[in-house]
Amino acid sequence: MDDPVAFVTGLKVLAAGLAMLGTIGAGLGVGIAAAGGVQAMGRNPDAAPIIQTNMILGMAFAEAVAIYCLAVALIIIFAAG
Amino acid sequence: MNEAQTKKRRPVKRWIVLALVAIGIYAAFMGPSILKPVPPTVVLPAEPIWPGVPITNSMAATLITDVLLILLAIGAYRFSKSGELVPSGFYNAFEAIVEFLWNTVEGSTGKWARRIIPVVGTIFLLIFVANMVKMLPGFESIGYLEAPHKTGEAYSIVKLFQIGSLPVYAIDPAGAERIVVDPTHETTEEEHGLCEHCQVIPFLRGPATDLNFTFALAVIAIVMTQVYGVWALGPRYFEKFIPIRRLVKGGAFGAIDFVVGLLELILEFAKILSFSFRLFGNIFAGVLLLSLVGSLLPVLLPPGLYLFEIFFGIIQAYVFFLLATIFMSTALVSHHGDEHGKEQH
């Protein structure tokens, strides 16, 4: 508490770490998408290309959330006053 | 590759790999401090390639990418003019990529594929080559020295040798010092001379680690989506955003449709943001991971991570391409009713 600058810096790093908590959801989402995709491909191997395309699409959307978290964390560390 | 080739042993390569690992261990743990890995300084915005020059290092890397792509295009053109029907080696791989792109675009947009593939295919090849170029040695490691502008680690320098009138220095991780910079302090011209504690500003940096690059690609993709929408449906395309006809005719549901249309308009801008942040975040996080792990555990682990990076470079290019294709294919068909039969699948 003696050094306000160091205190604020520490809080910033803490906030960035907390912001990355949002990746839990994204990780779950990507995992579920992959599990569903693999199951579907196992049941119907002929449709694998279409399933794969849609699986990657879904994973990209789920992963976008994690990327937003990363962007927020980076902004907290480097850009926020 | 047939049986005979796979059975042939190549002991030379194994010894090369072992020698490289041994050199890595020596440099990281035993050698002089100048060889030790340097923890990365994380810089979000791209920096100029030379003090005062209005070209950033990510732009320079984009130019290299462009040159590679143009050479690739010239090569492919000359190959197609040469009359050989069976491609070999490099052009075989290129043909496989183009065929894969064509099949994906054709599968989701049908007869519009010929008009759409120039845009999305270019985006794919640009991101793909940019992500591969980023992995070359020299990126983010060779640059000019500058006194740090922000609070952070700075290193003392050791002179290596001289090329003509240009002295070449290496930074010494042993001489690291945390420099606290007064943010109100203005840099003057004299301070651009040789610094005592320096940071390296790299000449080259991966294009996709700069938000400007990804944002520009996202804006191009979304604007072209609108262009294709108008091309396919005429002025009626904009009824997706401002459904005036349904507002007049539909009563209460027309009002709801109107609000939904406004949401669609906001969604277009959200698409630009998610496009650009997805690519930027993935590639930037990859670079960060590589340099952090490279400084903490410089032996054996980084090659695996490089493999991972190559995979992610391809996947991100594919995701950008696929999303752009699908947004364009949804823009080609009208939003409500009457024209769903026109859709080609």
DSSP code per residue over B180-234: PPPTTPPP-GGGGS--SSBEEEES---GGGSHHHHHHHHHHHHHHHHHHHHHHHG
Mutation to test the A interface, candidates B102, B124, B282, most A Cβ within 10 Å: B282
pLDDT value at residue B237: 85
CATH number at residue A9: 1.20.20.10
Number of Cβ within 10 Å of residue A75's Cβ equals 13
CA angle A31, A36, A41 (to 5 degrees): 125
**Mean of the per-residue pLDDT values of chain B:** 79
Q: Coil, strand, or helix at residue B162?
A: strand
CA distance B317 to chain A (A): 11
Which residue bears the tokens 């990076």?
B309
| Minimum-distance CB partner of A78 among B44, B281, B319 | B44
Cβ partners under 8 Å of residue B66, min gap 6:
none
CA B156 distance to own-chain centroid: 32
Which residue bears the tokens 């949401």?
B263
pLDDT value at residue A1: 65
pLDDT value at residue B222: 94
Structural domain count, chain A: 1
Q: How many percent of chain B have pLDDT more than 90?
A: 15
Torsion of CA B1, B5, B9, B11, to 10 degrees: -60
Q: Which two tokens stand for residue B12?
A: 């030379």
pLDDT value at residue B219: 95
Q: Which helix (H) or strand (E) holds B159?
A: strand B152-163
The parent domain of residue A20 ranges over 4-79
| Minimum-distance CB partner of B282 among A67, A74, A79 | A67
Chain A residues near residue B288 by CB distance under 8 angstroms: none
* Residue B174: band (very low, low, confident or very high) from pLDDT cuts 50, 70, 90: low
* Residue B187: band (very low, low, confident or very high) from pLDDT cuts 50, 70, 90: very low
What mean pLDDT do residues B214-233 have?
A: 92
pLDDT value at residue B107: 85
Residue B86 reports pLDDT greater than 80: no
- Please give the residue that has the higher pLDDT: either B300 or B322: B322
* Residue B177: band (very low, low, confident or very high) from pLDDT cuts 50, 70, 90: low
CA B24 distance to own-chain centroid: 28
Q: Is the ipTM of this complex over 0.90?
A: no
A30, A58 Cβ separation under 8 angstroms: no
Cα–Cα distance measured from residue B47 to residue B36, given in angstroms and rounded to the nearest whole number: 25
pLDDT value at residue B225: 92
B290, B310 Cβ separation under 8 angstroms: no
What mean pLDDT do residues B162-190 have?
A: 60
pTM of the shown model: 0.81
- Please give the residue that has the higher pLDDT: either B75 or B177: B75
- Please give the residue that has the higher pLDDT: either B344 or B239: B239
What mean pLDDT do residues B271-297 have?
A: 85
What mean pLDDT do residues B53-58 have?
A: 85
Nearest to B122 by CA among B77, B74, B70, B78: B70
Cα–Cα distance measured from residue B7 to residue B163, given in angstroms and rounded to the nearest whole number: 47
Residue B204 reports pLDDT greater than 60: yes
For residue range B7-20, list pLDDT tens digits in order: 556 678 888 888 88
Which residue bears the tokens 């940019």?
B130
Instruction: Find the chain A residues whose C-beta atoms sit closer than 8 A to any C-beta of B.
Output: 53, 56-57, 60, 63-64, 66-68, 70-71, 74, 77-79
Cα–Cα distance measured from residue B150 to residue B183, given in angstroms and rounded to the nearest whole number: 7
Residue B338 reports pLDDT greater than 80: no
CA distance A43 to chain B (A): 22
The per-residue DSSP string of B14-25 comes to HHHHHHHHHHHH
- Across the A:B interface, residue pairs with CB atoms under 8 Å apart total 40
Low-confidence ranges of chain A (pLDDT < 70): 1, 79-81
Residue B299 reports pLDDT greater than 90: no
Contact B322 A67 (CB under 8 A): no
Burial B1-18 (b: 16+ CB within 10 A, else e): eeeeeeeeeeeeeeeeee
